[in-house]
């Protein structure tokens, strides 16, 4: 490999900010944490300062199971970025958490041919050498 080829370490990394830090620190503790509105009960993802349902600022973090189902997916057979060439074919998915919010993720430990809408999936806490933990999903089986 030449020194100019992208490496896994060149992959874009999340950059936590104040409002998102509890989500990322939860992943480091191998927990999925979501905000919930104390005023109307809505579950909220992505992290925000105000509830998108009632505009209340009374959002509190809760640890949830992380159980979800596949809402939609696509299979990237060509790398979406040169740094992801080692992950092809990559199963890119939107999963719907039991609580309702949907999040974009990557399915791992799965045969792309077995992925379908509605597939029950469980969280995978994918820790990099730099300590970053990404939330991926695998079939519940
Ligand atoms: Zn609310």
Q: What is the pLDDT of residues 87-132, one digit of tens each?
A: 999 999 999 999 999 999 999 999 999 999 999 999 999 998 888 9
Minimal CA–CA distance to 30: which of 109, 122, 118?
A: 122
**pLDDT over 90 percentage in the chain:** 82
Element (H, E) at 69: strand 68-76
Ligand 1 centroid to residue 43 C-alpha, Å: 8
pTM above 0.85, yes or no: yes
Residue 43 lies in a domain: yes
Same domain for 58 and 92, yes or no, is no
Residue 1 lies in a domain: no
Name the range with the highest mean pLDDT among 11-20, 48-57, 84-93. Answer: 48-57
Same domain for 54 and 27, yes or no, is yes
pLDDT at 2: 43
- As a whole number, the mean pLDDT across the chain is 93
Ligand 1 centroid to residue 101 C-alpha, Å: 14
Same domain for 81 and 126, yes or no, is yes
Burial class (CB in 10 A: 0-12, 13-18, 19+), 6: middle
Domain enclosing residue 95, as ranges: 65-141
Same domain for 99 and 39, yes or no, is no
Same domain for 102 and 46, yes or no, is no
Query: Cα–Cα distance between 23 and 42 in angstroms, integer?
Result: 17
């Amino acid at each position: 490999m030449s020194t100019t080829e992208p490496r896994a370490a060149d992959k874009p990394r999340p950059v936590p900010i104040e409002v998102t830090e509890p989500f990322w620190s939860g992943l480091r503790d191998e927990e999925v944490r979501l905000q919930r509105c104390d005023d109307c009960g809505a579950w909220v993802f992505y992290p925000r300062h105000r509830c998108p349902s009632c505009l209340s600022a009374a959002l509190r973090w809760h640890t949830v199971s992380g159980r979800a189902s596949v809402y939609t997916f696509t299979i990237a057979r060509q790398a979406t970025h040169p740094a992801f060439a080692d992950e092809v074919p990559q199963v890119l998915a939107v999963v719907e958490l039991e609580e309702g919010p949907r999040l974009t993720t990557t399915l791992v430990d799965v045969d792309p041919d077995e992925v379908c809408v509605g597939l029950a999936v469980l969280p995978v806490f994918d820790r990099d050498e730099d300590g970053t933990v990404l939330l991926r999903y695998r079939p519940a089986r």
